[in-house]
Amino acid sequence: MLGKYFGKLLMVFAIELEKFEQRVTDLRREAIPGLSRELLTEWERDLGLPDICSPLAATIEERAQICHAKYTGNYYGQSKQFFIDYASKLGALITIQEYSGAGSVFRVDTNRVDRMPIVGIDGARLWSTTAKFRIKITIVSVNGNVSEQYIKCRLRQIAPAHIEIVWA
């Protein structure tokens, strides 16, 4: 007789524990932007979406895909190869030509920025807030469903402050 009531009591706990386990599984899924549905608006706010490159999407699935793409994107790097690889991930083939000053290619072993003779400051390391490295990007081809404008917008977004992009 006691076993019958004890079994019913354990069944009540088991049902609640099953609901709890399902909720924990759902919460783990919400921690990944591409799978998130309940916390999608929070993910968008944290990632700065919608932004000028990806306006607000129509469906929840599209919004989740945009969140996931921005979250998993590698937004670090300043090298020529980084920009080429990044554009390739977006679906574009680009070429880059680097310039410095009056159009000459910048060479680390040749060009110097720390030996600019100025009255009273000979050989001191000087920096200018207006100094920029110029790169010329040519979009050779665009594959998939992205436009040239989208590629340009994304590359402008991830470019470091000291890089000036000129489009060919």
**Whether 66 contacts 54, CB under 8 Å:** yes
Q: What is the pLDDT of residue 131?
A: 63
Q: Both tokens of residue 131? A: 């100094």
Q: Residue 116 is encoded by which pair of tokens?
A: 């600019």
pLDDT for the residue 2? 67
Closest alpha carbon to 87 in 166, 157, 33, 32: 157
For the chain, the C-alpha Rg in angstroms (whole number) is: 27
- Residue 161 confidence (pLDDT) above 50: yes
Q: Tell whether the model's pLDDT for residue 123 goes beyond 50.
A: no
Specify the pLDDT at position 143. 87
Give the C-alpha separation, 52 to 60, whole Å: 19
Residue 30, token pair as written in the block = 């919400």
Rounded to two decimals, what is the model's pTM?
Answer: 0.61
In sequence order, the β-bridge partners of residue 142 are 92
Asked if residues 52 and 153 have their Cβ atoms less than 8 Å apart, the reply is yes
The pLDDT > 70 percentage for the chain reads: 79
The predicted-structure confidence for 103-121, as pLDDT tens digits, reads as follows 455 556 555 555 554 544 4
Position 12 pLDDT exceeds 60: yes
SS3 at position 93: strand
Instruction: Give yes or no for a contact between 126 and 113, defined as CB atoms under 8 angstroms apart.
Output: yes
pLDDT digits (tens, 9 = 90+) for 124-154: 444 555 667 788 999 999 987 788 998 899 8
CB hemisphere CA count around 148 (13 angstroms): 8
Whole-angstrom Cα distance, residue 84 to residue 93? 7
In the predicted model, is pLDDT for residue 5 greater than 60?
yes
Q: Residue 18's pLDDT is what?
A: 93
> What pLDDT is recorded for position 13?
87
